[in-house]
Amino acid sequence: MTTTRVLVTGATGKIGGAVAAQLLEKGVPTRALVHRDDARSARLRALGAETVVADIFDIQRVQAVMDGVDRLFFNPPYHPHALDSAVSFAVAARRSGVEAVVALGQWLASPEHPSLMTRQHWLIDKLFELLPDTAHVAVDPGWFADNYLQFIGVAAQLGVLPAPTGGGRNAPPSNEDIARVAVGALLDPHRHDSRAYRPTGPTLLTGAEIGDAVGEALGRRVRHIEVPPRMLMKAVRVNAKRLGFDLYLESGLRHYALEAALGTWEVGGPTTHVRDVAGVEPEDFLTIARRYATRSETRRTAGNLIGQIWNFTLTGLVPMHDLDRFDRLQQHPQPAHPRLSGQSAIWRSEHTPSTETSPA
């Protein structure tokens, strides 16, 4: 593996950054594709990465970045034209003779999901499957631990963790464990060829158990409160700048929040895929929460308390964005009969409940 060069897209993001860092830690020559040269790309260079600034929608730049690369970690951008980017990388990979593609996808991926992002993830997976003489591995996590913990500041200051679980359970994975599975596949892609892995935490948890773990990490009592998906979207609108969300991301998220009540996150979970591919036990939610509990917004200060009270109040006052109108204005295509994954016979047929390492 010492002479194998890996290209990592989305290398300054949460998953892509973790993949690049773990590869570099193992001494793997790593080319990090970044959107701009900033402090995050400088950190990657400090770790030993070769950083390249390029537009992932420009086939000529993509081809230039792909030349000299043996394996690719493709992390689709949160963008309505993510499929265009995947086509560019598939063409470039074919021309350059890339031996393996490990692609980050979604547990929800389905051709009939109402979210454009989720339908594109399904198509991207099928696209890379078509590359001849190229190993293909899919890494398809569900609802990340990170999604719950983005609101740990509310829990720290107000003692509540608002999240729409719909009474369902989830075994949320850490960003680091998702990256560990991707890295394991990149290190030995032919052993994992044609597999689809879903990293999860070790235990299915209820909303109350997730709240309890956050409270233990913070050293105070925290109660999970069930909120309707619409209220989540209002909170996302209020916190969009901090979260890095735009209307396209909100358009997909509103549908994902409905899946919990359908039991979609429980199907086939928890898996053993972190151990099977990375050779380590998956992190439990408490361990993950303890990392987030060190953030500045968790400090019990008057400023943080006032800020969270104001944020909480504002969430109740602002309307949710009209995301149906946004989809129409952006001319997002829709399937003839949109169905959430938990309601889709196609999705169910492709996601056999199992904790084995067989494709899912």
Model pLDDT for residues 205-241, shown as the tens digit of each residue:
999 999 999 999 999 999 999 999 999 999 999 999 9
For the segment 54-62, the average pLDDT, to the nearest whole number, is 95
Average pLDDT score over the chain: 94
End-to-end Cα spacing for the chain = 28
- What pTM, to 2 d.p., does this model score? 0.94
Are the C-beta atoms of residues 356 and 124 closer than 8 Å to each other? no
Read off the pLDDT band of 358 (50, 70, 90). Answer: very low
What integer pLDDT is reported at residue 134 of this predicted model?
96
DSSP string computed for 176-198: HHHHHHHHHHHHSTTTSTT-EE-
